[in-house]
Structure 1
Amino acid sequence: MNAKPIIGMNCDYRPARQDAAALSWINAGYYDSVTASGGIPTVIPPLADDEDLRTLLGTLDGLVLTGCKLDLDAIRLGFDKHPASRSMPPRREDFDRRLCRLAYDMKIPTLAIGAGMQTLNVICGGSLFQHVAEDILKPLCHRDTVENCLRHVIEIVPGTRMDHIYGPGEIRVNSDHHMAVDQVAPIFRVSATAMDGVVEAYESIDEQWWCLGVQFHPESHSASALDMQVFETFMDGVREQAAPEILSLEQRRAA
């Protein structure tokens, strides 16, 4: 690994329109947060070939699965589509699903945010609520349709990575979603919940794979200064996972 970890980030996508070409972009908060926490960010385009994607991922030290204002396709998840659902373009969802699968298979240290957290959970065998406001009992407001600076309290599970990042107890985080994790995939454990029970963070239980998923957005302008610790802890995890491989390489060279 380089002195500074190379961190890949998937990007948003809009298909071609009559008046505009197809477009990919990424919110600056993602690459600014990676840079501020000691990494070198690079954008991963929605590649069509899995071998090309595998080759690219092999050059990375870590991966940030970014969020999206749009949703995973409800029909593909087995739901009747809710009026509140707005599906992301198929090319983005198809790519994100393949990216999540390879991240898991290759055990790439991963920070999954928002829709990235939801997609990774589905790929690893979990499930989602389509519309929190109707799918759980006595829900909190998780999305303000007028303002995008909604915040609510989450409760951190002791002994988890979220506990390491924030300390025990309750904190306030930003919130802008209507889908959410329902059943957590078997490879994850819950590390934070909202007061209505909605999963706000999970982490890998596989010691060979550093992975943290958060429903809130630590890269956003509405995040608190403490939230940068999510990226800093992720960068520590990237280095820790690489350490045994570096040691093994040095041992082989010494032999």
Structure 2
Amino acid sequence: MTSTRPLIGINTDFRPAQQRTPAYVYLAAGYYENIQAAGGIPVILPPSNDVDAIHAAMDRLDGFVLIGGQDLDPRNDGYMLHHSMKLMHSNRETFDRIVVNEITERRMPVLGIGAGMQLLNIVQGGNLFYDIAEDLPNAVPHRDHQDPLHRHSLVVESDSLVGRVYGDGEIRVASRHHMAIDEVAPGFRVTARCPDGVIEAIESEMMDWFAVGTQFHPECEAASALDIRIFEEFVDGVKERQTGDLRLVA
């Protein structure tokens, strides 16, 4: 594509019809607002199982943001449910998995956030801790049901996208998760952790794929000006790919 403003796809969440309300798709405004502010054009895609339509839509996109949300169903990957899980609707997860497979095959630039990063890691061959409190009992709290603006500190690798964003010094990011990456997928490396060791960001080491994931939420209402720069770095990387100068984050 030759547009100076890249088209960035964004998936959406889904709520089924209830007694007096129809089914809805919805999206936190921070995702598309920050893509717009960074110079991209957000293209919001509702869940669908029409593979041909998804393929046609992906043909027109330059990059993709995979949003956060509720928990992925571990049964889709051969594991058992955990009692702490609140599963995203199957309509959304089915669509998201089709999209991630398309992204992978195309080596499309991608930014995965929260559950989006977790799915990217799973599809590429990694796996997850299904409950931090149970699997990593010495970890600090990574979510607070009483405080949606809960933040914790972060330790970043300097030679990475998140390193370029945050630089040196004390860093605190918005955290709202109970699942986390266990084994990192082949071809990716860890570029940020919470001081307790929980993985908070991964980035592709593959020369032909600009792919980044954050477990924390740079789009949320608690985000700082530094957090929002993640979207700027991502959109800039997509633009470089448009011109044939692929952003490398190794």
Fold match by TM threshold 0.5: yes
Q: Secondary structure at the match of 2:121?
A: helix
Deviation at 1:176, TM superposition (A): 0.3
2: distance between equivalents of 1:158 and 1:116? 23
Deviates more, 1:81-90 or 1:219-228: 81-90
Aligned to 2:59: 58
Aligned to 1:30: 31
Return the TM-score normalized by structure 2: 0.93
Equivalent pair of 1:208/1:241 in contact (CA under 8 Å):
no
Say whether residues 1:176 and 2:179 are aligned partners. Answer: no
Q: Secondary structure at the match of 1:75?
A: helix
Runs of 5+ consecutive residues of structure 1 not aligned to the other structure: 247-255
Aligned to 2:155: 155
Aligned to 1:253: none
Q: Which residues in structure 2 correspond to 1:70-85 (within 5 Å)? A: 70-85=70-85
Q: Secondary structure at the match of 2:8?
A: strand
Deviation at 1:78, TM superposition (A): 4.1
Aligned to 2:203: 203
Aligned to 1:251: none
Runs of 5+ consecutive residues of structure 2 not aligned to the other structure: none
Aligned to 2:21: 20
Aligned to 2:109: 109
Deviation at 1:7, TM superposition (A): 0.9
Once the two structures are superposed, residues 5-31 of structure 1 have per-residue CA deviations (whole angstroms, 9 ceiling, x without a partner) of 111100010122232222101111111
Q: Secondary structure at the match of 1:244?
A: coil
Aligned to 2:243: 243
1: distance between equivalents of 2:145 and 2:77? 24
Equivalent pair of 1:157/1:168 in contact (CA under 8 Å):
no
Deviates more, 1:82-91 or 1:163-172: 163-172
Q: Secondary structure at the match of 2:14?
A: strand
Once the two structures are superposed, residues 145-186 of structure 1 have per-residue CA deviations (whole angstroms, 9 ceiling, x without a partner) of 111111111100131221112114541101000011111100
2: distance between equivalents of 1:100 and 1:230? 20
2: distance between equivalents of 1:83 and 1:137? 16
Deviation at 1:112, TM superposition (A): 0.6
2: distance between equivalents of 1:213 and 1:245? 21
2: distance between equivalents of 1:49 and 1:210? 26
1: distance between equivalents of 2:181 and 2:20? 37
Aligned to 1:49: 50
Deviates more, 1:156-165 or 1:189-198: 156-165
Which consecutive segments of 4 or more residues in structure 1 shift more than 6 A?
none
Once the two structures are superposed, residues 213-238 of structure 1 have per-residue CA deviations (whole angstroms, 9 ceiling, x without a partner) of 00111111111111111000001110
Return the TM-score normalized by structure 1: 0.92
2: distance between equivalents of 1:77 and 1:232? 33
Q: Secondary structure at the match of 1:105?
A: helix
